Amino acid sequence: MDWKVLLVDLVLMPLVAFAVGLVMVLMLRKVNARIQRRIGPPFFQPLYDILKLFGKQTQISHGVIHDIAIVMLLGGFIASETLLPVPGMDGLAKQGDLLVLIYLLMVPTLGMALGVGQCANPNGSIGISRALTSMLAYDIPLMVVVVGVAWHYGTTSLPEIIALQQQAGVSGWGVTSMPLLAVAGIVSIHMMLGKEPFEVYVAPAEIATGPMVEISGKYLGGLFVTQCFQLYTAGVLFTTLFLGGGENWLSFLVKIFAVLFVPIAITVVFPRFKVEEGVAWGWKWPTTIGLVGLALVFF
Amino acid sequence: MSALDQLFLIAAVTAVVPMVIGNTRFGGWVMTLLYAGQAAVVFEMRAVSYGGETISATPNFVVLGQQIHWAYDALSWFFALTTVGSALFASWYASGEWGRRYREDGYNLRLFHTAMAANVFSMLVLLGSNDLLSVFMGWELVSWASFLLMAARGGAAIRPALRYVVYAMGGAMALMMGLAILYVETGSLQLGAIMAAAPGFSNGLVWLLAMSFGVGFGVKMGLVPFHLWQAPAYAETAAPGSCFFGAITARMGLFGIILILVKLVGVAHMAETGIPWVQFSARDLLAWVAALTIIIPTYTALRQHDARLLLMWHGVGQGGYMLLGLMVGSALGSAGGLLHIFNYATNQLILLMAVFAVIHRTGTADLNKLGGLLVRMPISFVVLLVGIIGLAGLPPMNGFVSKWMVYRALIADGSPLLFLAAIIGTLGTILSVYKLIHNIFLGQLRAEHEQIREVPWSMSIPMMLAAAVVFFTGYFPGVALDWVAAVQASVGLPVIAHTLGGVPLPNGGLNMIAVVSVLLFGFAVGAVIFFLLGGRSVRVHQLDNYAGGHFLTAATRYQYSNIFYPGLFRLLAPVYRNTFVWLEAGLVSVVDLASMGARGLCRSRHPAFYILLGFVLTLAWVIK
């Protein structure tokens, strides 16, 4: 691979992810506002929020690991974005497959967990305990989806999965050839985002926003940036596996925003599950649907 | 004198020397030098792993007209490297302050060093086995040496050690049966001759061999349902011995399985033994045992609140990944399983060294009585962090590479359920190791630990060096994959095509150099964003914390530790039924009852008459 192309990809892919992610955060807040009959924030509000948080005068640190946590959060997502192909840019997607991507996405989670741990606030630790338990809820159906998709396409390489779908056209898209797995996929991706009804680990009224209890200023700003990456990754991952990826930037953006609209629309009208209810739900519905879909793919 | 002779000689010397100088101040350092000598000889033998000839040892004797002798091939070398490496680090760890404290506390340091060296020697002998008799001899040596090291600390270590002996004897019976079957079937003790005859084995025979050797060697590995003994026995051993046990000893069972079931019988042959109608083969049986071994011990580990037990239960579970990878039988899967032996050994070694460092300073392994030690023991924290990332199998550590290979092979093999079992184990591991690092190093520092210092260099240097191995063999997995490929060639498995960075596959491969580099690149960008942009941060005291309107003082226990995942346990409560503990207790009761019966017989008025009667009746039945 030409190193100049690679260098451009390494810089551009995370930047694009961040920019698109900002708009996705805006969409989340706009949809929420409209359902509550408010106007919602202006276009650049997410960016203003980040600038404000980074510009705050008081920045409270609870120790080295608290600082490093934010570095791990940002770094893990920046690295992950280079494994996620977008139209015209494959980045490092040929050097690490779908499984690598999924495990690389756990690095920011681990960083967050470590940083919150160092804050020495039990509300934060309870939040992490709940977040990791929730991970057990959504990762099992997600892995059912992964093994089904990988078997169906005969590959775990993301550029190849995209190419195979685009060659076959809409009838070859994952969503038409494996509809049950697509359902399980969108549900587990929704759970992965940690939005209602699966946001028991932030639960503001109960554990004082959980992991975020001791996080403010640019630490919270780092978390905000992470949220942009997270929404973007969720949309692109589903689009890559089930909607044939992006033929060009226009269709790509339409697809990822459409995908993200599903969890957002559900989120804004739901209360929250208790943690064990969330796990039970995750193992019951998306896992069952996924396993049926898996059986259809294999036989 | 061949290199193998030198290795055996120096290992034997290592076992004798501590009987004389084991209790002295420099005894530990001499031991470490001797292990370094063993490591140097192993390094000298490396050609065997790069296409060189098998290396034979000179000692030999003749039994039943057949020559018994020892030799090293790539498989033996791979295990020997891991064994001697683990022993070297563990001994270094014990050389300075740890050994001094152990002696001052009234324990027998001489016995400890001797037992540990005896373990290494017996394992090296087992690894050189070339025939059925030397396999059995080596096996028994390893078992009894293990018992010696387990029991060396006395006190609480004795009961689990005795429990191990009972299990080991049961395993040895099964092993003896398997060896006898092989000898009767082929008329030879030589592994080479048996291997030549193996393709002609009937399905029934292969099943019988898989069962007897699976039980015999599986006991040592802690395969379900023989998993109960291992964690308590290894956890109660003296610290460096515990590190050594955790890293490699249980893998001797896997060595046996590879030697007999993979090399002699062959995975492909086992896969052809499907029972009609259900298509369940001996290979499937072992693969599913491996899957259960991943899940059950991992979720047992999740419930532990003793750091040592937590890690040891994970050790049992990680063995499942190795066996599972091997039973896939493909180049990728078996390479993943084999690579995990080395990767896991390095991970477990540093995890246990870090945990024992904490015990050395605080005197406790209770996860509910620690917390916040990060600020007092930063080196141990970093080492433990590297270890948990490796054990959980996340990038960039080496544990990720081997687990990725096993997952990828299971997908390619079309085994979605086994794949999911492996994933469920990994997720449980992530939950459990976070609890480990959180409860020890994160959260609130307790008032009684305010004055604690980092462990001395004699303990922290081996920890850091081993942690560096974990990172670099994750960054450049090709180094260890070279050895693994040689092992595959020597046991007749398909050989993995690999590069320095990992496994290039047309349909989704792995290049760790790229993945780790981009991760480091991401961290660098993240660090620039975080540290250079925005205001400067102020460090605050741990009690300067949100507490819902209350003031915090040092007397306030502000740490979340007990039952770390309550939601999960409320959900899983009906699953934890202690079935295996109950089964073991039932078995013990049956044996108790039989022994009571026997005792009652001896106490009756005419025991001799009854014994004579029984003897005569048996004789009559036999003659008839």
Model pLDDT, residue A23: 95
Looking at chain A, the whole-number percentage of residues with pLDDT higher than 70 is 99
Say if residue A225's pLDDT is above 70: yes
Is B500 in CB contact (< 8 Å) with chain A?
Answer: no
| Stated pTM of the model | 0.93
Model pLDDT, residue A1: 60
Return d(Cα A166, Cα A246) in angstroms, integer.
9
Q: What is the ipTM, given to two decimal places?
A: 0.93
Q: Are B291 and B320 in contact (CB under 8 A)?
A: yes
Return d(Cα A33, Cα A37) in angstroms, integer.
6
For residue B245, the 8-state DSSP code is: I
Apex B308 CA angle, B214 and B398, nearest 5 = 70
Band (pLDDT 50/70/90 cuts) for residue A5 is confident
- Interchain CB distance below 8 Å, B419 and A147: yes
Q: Which of residues 424-483 of B touch A (CB under 8 A)?
A: 424, 427-428, 430-431, 434, 437-438, 441-445
Minimal C-alpha gap between B7 and chain A (Å): 40
Say which residues have a Cβ less than 8 Å from residue A58's Cβ, sequence separation at least 6: A216, A217, B535, B538
Q: Is B72 helix (H, G, I), strand (E, B) or coil?
A: strand
Band (pLDDT 50/70/90 cuts) for residue A156 is very high
Is A206 in CB contact (< 8 Å) with chain B?
Answer: no
Q: pLDDT digit string (tens) for A52-111?
A: 998 888 888 888 999 999 999 999 999 999 999 999 888 888 888 899 999 999 999 999
Return d(Cα A157, Cα A162) in angstroms, integer.
9
Q: Are A97 and A150 in contact (CB under 8 A)?
A: no
Total of domains in chain A = 1
Task: Round the average pLDDT of chain A to a whole number and report it.
Answer: 89
Say if residue A204's pLDDT is above 80: no
Is A65 in CB contact (< 8 Å) with chain B?
Answer: yes
- Interchain CB distance below 8 Å, A136 and B537: no
Model pLDDT, residue A202: 75
What's the average pLDDT block by block, 10 residues per block, for chain B (624 residues)?
Answer: 92 93 89 95 91 86 86 94 95 93 92 94 94 92 93 89 92 93 90 90 92 93 90 91 93 94 91 84 93 94 93 95 94 95 96 95 92 92 95 93 95 92 94 94 89 93 95 94 94 92 88 93 93 84 79 81 88 86 92 89 78 90 83
Is A1 in CB contact (< 8 Å) with chain B?
Answer: no
Q: Select from A59, A110, A121 the Cβ nearest to the Cβ of B538.
A: A59
Return d(Cα B593, Cα B543) in angstroms, integer.
59
Say if residue A268's pLDDT is above 70: yes
Q: Which of residues 508-537 of B touch A (CB under 8 A)?
A: 508-511, 514-515, 518-519, 521-527, 529-531, 533-537
Say which residues have a Cβ less than 8 Å from residue B26's Cβ, sequence separation at least 6: none
Is A29 in CB contact (< 8 Å) with chain B?
Answer: no
Q: DSSP H helical segments within chain A, as ranges? A: 3-35, 45-55, 64-81, 98-104, 106-118, 122-153, 158-168, 174-177, 179-193, 204-207, 217-242, 249-267, 275-298
At A60, give phi and psi (nearest 5°).
Answer: -95, 125
Domain hosting residue A199, numbered range: 3-298
Q: pLDDT digit string (tens) for A280-299?
A: 888 888 898 888 888 888 87
